[in-house]
Every structure is written in C-alpha cells, then in structure tokens.
Amino acid sequence: MSHVTYHIVQHDGGWAYRADGTYSETFPSHDAAKAAARRAAGEQRVAGDTHGIVYEDANGQWREELADGHDRPWTDVEG
C-alpha cells in the first residue's frame, strides 16, 4: 500500500496543502487549508471500482493495466 502525506504550507499569500509536489488552491487561513487537506486525504482512502486503464509511460510506450479500486493509499495530514 502506498502512502500520501498532505503538508499544510504557506503559498501565494495564504495557505495551501501540498501532496507529492503539487499544491492545492490557496486558502485564507491555516485552518481552512487543513480542513481541505483532511477532506482530500479522506476521499483518497475511499475504495472505488476496479477498471482497466490505458496510459502512455515516460518512454512513450502504451501500457494496459487493471487498476484495483480497493488498492487505496494510506494518507495523513501534517502541519
């Protein structure tokens, strides 16, 4: 199982959460950013349906995989 941490950080004159190097929208307060991060982290843990997926990898090769909808990451919020 993978792990995703949502970090609460100052960003663009306000507060945001960052996960895997990507920033959320900017929130006016630390508390608002933390609440949004908690919602996002919770949604990531929810199981979904299993689907076949097709994607292009970094080498330009097309890949087909079965994405197990029950293989969800463990998440947490820091900051």
Tens place of pLDDT per residue across the chain (79 aa): 699 999 999 999 999 999 999 999 999 999 999 999 999 999 999 999 999 999 999 999 999 999 888 888 899 999 9
pLDDT number for residue 70 = 87
pLDDT of residue 11: 97
Provide the b/e sequence for 8-31 (b: ≥16 CB within 10 Å): beebeeebbbbbeeeebeebeeee
Q: Where are the domains of the chain?
A: 3-78
pLDDT at 17: 98
pLDDT attached to residue 79: 93
